[in-house]
Each structure stands twice: as structure tokens, then as C-alpha cells.
Amino acid sequence: MSVVQLDSVSFWYGRDRIIQDMDLVLERGITGLLGPNGAGKTTLIRLLALDMRPKCGSVIINGTPVNNETQARKCRRHIGYLPQRFEVMNFKTVQDNVEFAAWAHGVSAAACNKAAADALEKVGLADRAKSRAFSLSGGMRQRLGLACVIVHKPEILILDEPTVGIDPVQRSQMRQLLRELAANSAILLSTHLVDDVAHICDRVLIVNHGTVKFDGPISALEELGSDRAHRDMNGSAAENGYLEIMDNYAS
């Protein structure tokens, strides 16, 4: 059974149609979301995270259409959403930030402390629990953001550029953590880093002009790039496949 579904969803600002009659199903595992700037990725992410409502069509969470704010509030408890610009309470401790996120997602007050400690352990920040958030490096702040969105053990994780600003070791650790979380969650990973998608994603979506241009396993994307690889020795097989999609199917 699908965890998240879009049924004929469209969204527009004025005359600018951002998402066009999109059907989409997300199941457990990691789905990578690729596309150029302005493709509609951020709007798609916000629709899936119930951060905005579609102009037409339905967002369906665990089989339930989300038709009003009351339903949206209930369904958000099943979602962990990490936007690209994640705000923290700088003068609160790391532990306090995650405990607040737990409470905001419906974790009982009695359970918030342990839930926060567990989340910080998973993201490798347990030793910084008592530090003020403003003292964290950029990479640590990204991990704090991830702790805040996994603290309530959501079934759905929507992550917008979670590896921006972190070093190669931290990126490898993040990939490993996402693999572990994917056993029980549907994860949508939006990124500009094709190699991140190639390393950990079960499935790839490429979006442009508000529509899905490619939907398939990473092996299929690499196969699309095989001819290009003979012409252009730069880039990985997955990167060549992405460029092939952009060249031939993106209009």
C-alpha cells in the first residue's frame, strides 16, 4: 500500500503553473528527486509535506485524502519535513530544540526527553546535547535539523537538500542513516547531487516544468546515459543519464 499519493495534483501562482496534473505514489524506501532550479521541486515537496494545499487534485496520506486543515494537522504527525532553510532556536540547547520538535509532533511530554536523546544519538550529536545551537557548525546544524524531523519516528520523511554544507565523511554518515531509516519510512530526498541519489536511492524522479520526466530505478537512469558516456567521459553513469533526460525529455 502506498504511504503518500498525489492524485491529479496541480498548483499555480497567478498564471504560472508550477505543478501540472501530477500523479505520484511514494512507498517505503528512498526516492531521489532531481531537477533543475525552477523545475517545481520545492513546490512538490511542500505539497507532499502538507505545507501547502493543491489548487486541484488530492494529497493522500496512508489512504486518507487530506481535504482540510484538521486532517492535515493529524497527518503531519506522520511526516518529518526538513526544508532547505531549517530554523533552530539558537540560544536553546541542542537537546531543547529536539525536545520541542518532539512535543510539536505530538510526542507526550513524559517521552520527549528520551525521544530527543535517541534522535541525537542516531545523528551523532549526543555529545553536543547541552551545547547552545548557535555554537554548531553548518554540518552539525544540518544534523540537528534531521534529529528534529525524525524524533517522532515518522512514516514519511521529506528532505530538501539535507547534505548541503556537510563534508564527505558527514555525507557518508548521512547516507548510512537514511538507509537505516528507510526500513520503516518512505523517504523523499531532494538534491542537486546525482551521486547522492546513485548511492542510496531505490528510485529516481526527475521533474521539470512541473511534470515528472523520469520515474524509475537508478539502473534505468544509468542505462539511459550509456550512449552519452561513450561521447563524454566526464561524469558518472547516473549523471550522464540525468543530462540525457534534460537534453531529450525536459521540454
Q: pLDDT at residue 1 above 60?
A: no
| 21 conformational bin, left if phi > 0, alpha if psi -120 to 50, beta if neither | left
Give residue limits of the domains in the chain. Answer: 4-78+154-248, 87-153
Report pLDDT for 251: 53
Digit-coded pLDDT (tens) for 119-139: 999 999 999 999 999 999 888
Q: Which amino acid is at 228?
A: R
With cut-offs at 50, 70 and 90, classify the pLDDT of residue 249: low
DSSP character string of 85-136: S----TTSBHHHHHHHHHHHTT--HHHHHHHHHHHHHHTT-GGGTTSBGGGS
Q: Is 171 in contact with 163 (CB distance < 8 Å)?
A: yes
pLDDT at 47: 96
Match domain 4-78+154-248 to its CATH number in 3.40.50.150, 3.40.50.300, 3.40.470.10, 3.30.160.620.
3.40.50.300
pLDDT surpasses 60 at 229 = no
Q: What is the pTM of this model?
A: 0.91
What would the mean pLDDT of 228-250 be, rounded to a whole number? 75
